[in-house]
Structure 1
């Protein structure tokens, strides 16, 4: 058997039974592992804004919007599962990444557009994670201040110190080659995300059980003295962007499917895994959004654990924010490493003779470990982290950042490319009934994404009128 230029054969000492047809070690993933990976990928920091999003949309539109995004994501995940192999969904050649799937099924300009969407999304997420982590670090300090001084106001702290601290940590971690491939990282991320999400859910239940009766509405926070009808409209669209961000995980589905063993067919297993993973996540999202709205009503904070809907028990609020910070410290690297790898690979091809770019020095570490050090990697990766720090200082608003990220990634990566790839692979005839309703679905999602993006950009600009860049406080 030949794959990637390597021949595996019994005569040469290799056992074909240990390798798949593409020459890689045989995949061992199952329905259970794939479902767990999907749940881990879905449930993240986006859950913290769902109570606020529900407060903007109300008792009817809030749950309906979450269910609609869930169904759309599940449907397009099914389409994406059939595109993992090409040209045939069962016996065709494997495509190991989202970009490879787009290249195999669409090719041409759409591959470049996919690259722009993917890498733009990764850059945005690293900025968003920088903002979110800093806010969580500040929240720990504020929570302790509230507890010691027995007040529910004041205790404001600058975000910038914690943004810089987060950046320094990322500068160090970014020098570790293949940091994102550490298996322990995924385990820690899963534990941390479930921990802080569960704490937020539990505190909401406790708030309701304690007799909280906040004002709620079928249509969400009403326009009035504190908010104009125009503000209400834009906040509604921004809330849709926040929900979209919570479901923006399609780019990792191909990598998850690539872990599945060949029998039964990967696409069949992946479809069941997508249903299980998205269903479990949606139930969790519904609980967080609805119970958070029940607990705090129309004044639900933008971030459930840092907007200080909760003040006590302060140690539990601190624990939740520590979990957020730990989760996002590693998650930043998961999303930044593909950016690092792309630029470094491109630079080596562009300047193959450059000593600065291509030189690698071995450094002996305690314990007999050896790490490769590259001057170019140090300069480039440090520069990128500084860039994310600077942007995070300029745009420190949690909800608007999440809304913009959700709007920018949901339509192209979750809806457009899966639909277009499925149409191409299944050879669906243009202007047929199936083609028409798929295009309508794509257009509706595009419209929602554009409105959500406009609302988030408006929110960022609006906050710049009251916030001084590089001097933001929480």
Structure 2
């Protein structure tokens, strides 16, 4: 029978949960259970968050931008992401980055360093982005699951066969898996899932890269150019503009992990200092992903040329060997199962903390029931957590069913989140923490960087919105999709 007990998941006042004179080796300086994360586990979280569905669209993005602008934009986003992430890593504690008070979320860090309306900006940008990413991952995982069925159909029936499969059943299966995994209490319990997902991301990125190299080495005429797709041959002048803007948004999405950086850093043990470990993890994570991105994007463009598909593993730029393509798509699905949790756990934690703070006496929210599971031990079930997290997964799956547009959706998410979360807020917190004099050399260049990235984000958002509008005009929901 279930045993009722007080919830241990949401702590209202960590500093009051223990006797300050009797800190044991099992607790950190804030009274919470001792964190055990290292730069290695943080790197796995970052790679899981960064090498996601974005890598699949990079060949298409490079084909829109060409040999010059494509790699240049990739490297620019890589440098900016790494630079601003190191600034953000120093904001985990305040006012001192080593000995200050911990900030458990991105919003907490902004509140400690900036306050005011910027906290609300952070909240809206972060949580809208996280919701968008979970919807995007539902779309991408279902496309990969469907691609396995279509690959076998093409193999058996021929490449010209009418192999149409609906995405809806795959989205339902993905949602059912997420409903189960969403009952993992918090981010600190996800290291194993992130490590598995990181392995999967390396696997399918390597397979895609290997197939692209084989296709490029095999000869065949493909058209590439310094400026990408050709106006009047591949696209019209207006399509060239809109798709170039959208490609920038896709690349921005490929580097989107600042939304969960603070939450990842909150899993690290305090020795060595968290900011030092996080900067090391960021260097490894961003360097690794950039290496894969440049290879996948450039080699993919060399293999497919200006006809590069929007998703080079599910768009059937490859048909054979079908079993290897099936395996790669299974890896994508497994990776996105883990990545979904990395991005949705901060949403779960935020809502549950706010509800517990507002209704502390409500037993539906604050009470957990211990259930003895053979070979596992006691598992604590919170009814509110079960209902709310299940409802969230269902809602994101329904949205994905209504708007299953891979490239357009990714571009819009990347464009909307890149400037406020990856650039603007980290720079503003650094300026406030360092007390940089206004109009000083460093202050001026940081502001120029911020405003430049704002313009780029607006341009990318415009292109993605145009793409969504065009897709909606021809889309018929709940019918079999190619």
Alignment TM-score, normalising by the size of structure 1: 0.91
Q: What aligned pairs does 1:69-84 form with structure 2 within 5 A after superposition? A: 69-84=77-92
For residues 327-359 of structure 1, give each alpha carbon's deviation from its aligned partner in whole angstroms, at most 9, with x where no partner exists. Answer: 212322332233233323333444455555455
Structure 2 residue ranges without an equivalent (≥5): 1-13
What does residue 10 of structure 2 align with?
none
Partner SS state of residue 465, structure 1: helix
Please say if 1:7 is aligned against 2:7: no
For 2:192 and 2:262, locate their aligned partners in 1 and report how far apart those are by CA, in whole Å: 21
Please say if 1:395 is aligned against 2:403: yes
What does residue 330 of structure 1 align with?
338
For residues 133-159 of structure 1, give each alpha carbon's deviation from its aligned partner in whole angstroms, at most 9, with x where no partner exists. Answer: 110011000000010012245201111
For 2:428 and 2:125, locate their aligned partners in 1 and report how far apart those are by CA, in whole Å: 15
For 1:266 and 1:342, locate their aligned partners in 2 and report how far apart those are by CA, in whole Å: 22
For 2:96 and 2:184, locate their aligned partners in 1 and report how far apart those are by CA, in whole Å: 39
Does structure 2 conserve the Cα–Cα contact (< 8 Å) formed by 1:173 and 1:179?
no
For 2:456 and 2:48, locate their aligned partners in 1 and report how far apart those are by CA, in whole Å: 26
Give the drift of 1:446: 1.0
For 2:199 and 2:233, locate their aligned partners in 1 and report how far apart those are by CA, in whole Å: 43
Give the drift of 1:369: 4.1
What does residue 462 of structure 1 align with?
470
Sort the Cα spacing of 1:40 and 1:179 in 2 relative to 1 into closer, same or farther, 3 A: closer
Sort the Cα spacing of 1:376 and 1:37 in 2 relative to 1 into closer, same or farther, 3 A: closer
Does structure 1 conserve the Cα–Cα contact (< 8 Å) formed by 2:110 and 2:119?
yes
Does structure 2 conserve the Cα–Cα contact (< 8 Å) formed by 1:393 and 1:469?
yes
Partner SS state of residue 154, structure 1: coil
For 2:344 and 2:188, locate their aligned partners in 1 and report how far apart those are by CA, in whole Å: 9
Give the drift of 1:397: 1.0
Q: What aligned pairs does 1:51-450 form with structure 2 within 5 A after superposition? A: 51-178=59-186, 181-224=189-232, 227-258=235-266, 265-352=273-360, 354=362, 356-358=364-366, 360-367=368-375, 369-450=377-458
Does structure 1 conserve the Cα–Cα contact (< 8 Å) formed by 2:155 and 2:319?
yes
Give the drift of 1:248: 0.8
RMSD (Å), alpha carbons = 2.6
Alignment TM-score, normalising by the size of structure 2: 0.89
Sort the Cα spacing of 1:80 and 1:345 in 2 relative to 1 into closer, same or farther, 3 A: closer
Partner SS state of residue 329, structure 2: helix
Partner SS state of residue 4, structure 1: helix
* Deviates most, 177-186 or 40-49: 177-186
Give the drift of 1:63: 0.2
For 1:378 and 1:354, locate their aligned partners in 2 and report how far apart those are by CA, in whole Å: 15
For 1:333 and 1:380, locate their aligned partners in 2 and report how far apart those are by CA, in whole Å: 15
Does structure 2 conserve the Cα–Cα contact (< 8 Å) formed by 1:213 and 1:295?
no
* Deviates most, 239-248 or 278-287: 278-287
For 2:273 and 2:102, locate their aligned partners in 1 and report how far apart those are by CA, in whole Å: 12
Sort the Cα spacing of 1:261 and 1:380 in 2 relative to 1 into closer, same or farther, 3 A: closer
Sort the Cα spacing of 1:368 and 1:246 in 2 relative to 1 into closer, same or farther, 3 A: closer
Please say if 1:453 is aligned against 2:461: yes
For 1:93 and 1:399, locate their aligned partners in 2 and report how far apart those are by CA, in whole Å: 40
For 2:170 and 2:269, locate their aligned partners in 1 and report how far apart those are by CA, in whole Å: 44
For residues 80-101 of structure 1, give each alpha carbon's deviation from its aligned partner in whole angstroms, at most 9, with x where no partner exists. Answer: 2332332233443333432222
Does structure 2 conserve the Cα–Cα contact (< 8 Å) formed by 1:180 and 1:334?
no
For 1:167 and 1:100, locate their aligned partners in 2 and report how far apart those are by CA, in whole Å: 30
Partner SS state of residue 474, structure 2: coil
Give the drift of 1:113: 1.6
Structure 1 residue ranges without an equivalent (≥5): none
Give the drift of 1:37: 4.6
Sort the Cα spacing of 1:315 and 1:368 in 2 relative to 1 into closer, same or farther, 3 A: closer
